[in-house]
Amino acid sequence: MHVLIVEDDAKIAEFVARGFREAGFRTTRAADGEDGLLQAQHGPFDAAIVDIMLPKMDGLELIRRLRASGSKLPVVVLSARSSVDSRIAGLEAGGDDYVSKPFSIAEVIVRVQTVLRRASADPETVLRAGDLEMDLVTHKVTRAGESIRLQPLEYQLLEYLLRNKGRVISKTTILERVWDCSFDPHTNLVETRVCRLRDKIDKGHDVKHIRTVVGFGYVLE
Task: Report, in this order, helix, strand and coil percent for the chain, each rounded to 5.
Answer: 40, 20, 35
Mean pLDDT of 162-177: 86
pLDDT band at residue 124 under the 50/70/90 scheme: low
Instruction: Quote the domain boundaries for residue 95.
Output: 2-121
Strand, helix or coil for residue 124: coil
Say how far apart CA 189 and CA 184 lie, in whole Å: 10
| Cβ-contact 47, 112 below 8 angstroms | yes
Q: Are residues 15 and 111 in the same domain?
A: yes
Cα within 13 Å of Cα(146), Cβ side = 8
Mean pLDDT of 149-156: 86
Mean pLDDT of 38-51: 89
* Position 178 pLDDT exceeds 60: yes
pLDDT band at residue 121 under the 50/70/90 scheme: low
Which CATH number fits the domain that encloses residue 107? 3.40.50.2300
Look at the pTM and tell me if it is higher than 0.85: no
Which CATH number fits the domain that encloses residue 152? 1.10.10.10
* Position 43 pLDDT exceeds 90: no
**Considering 121, 151, 167, which residue would you say is the last residue of a domain?**
121
Give the pLDDT confidence of 80-95 residue by residue, as tens digits.
776 777 788 888 888 8
Say how far apart CA 139 and CA 155 lie, in whole Å: 8
pLDDT band at residue 69 under the 50/70/90 scheme: confident
Q: Are residues 182 and 86 in the same domain?
A: no
Provide the domain count of the chain: 2
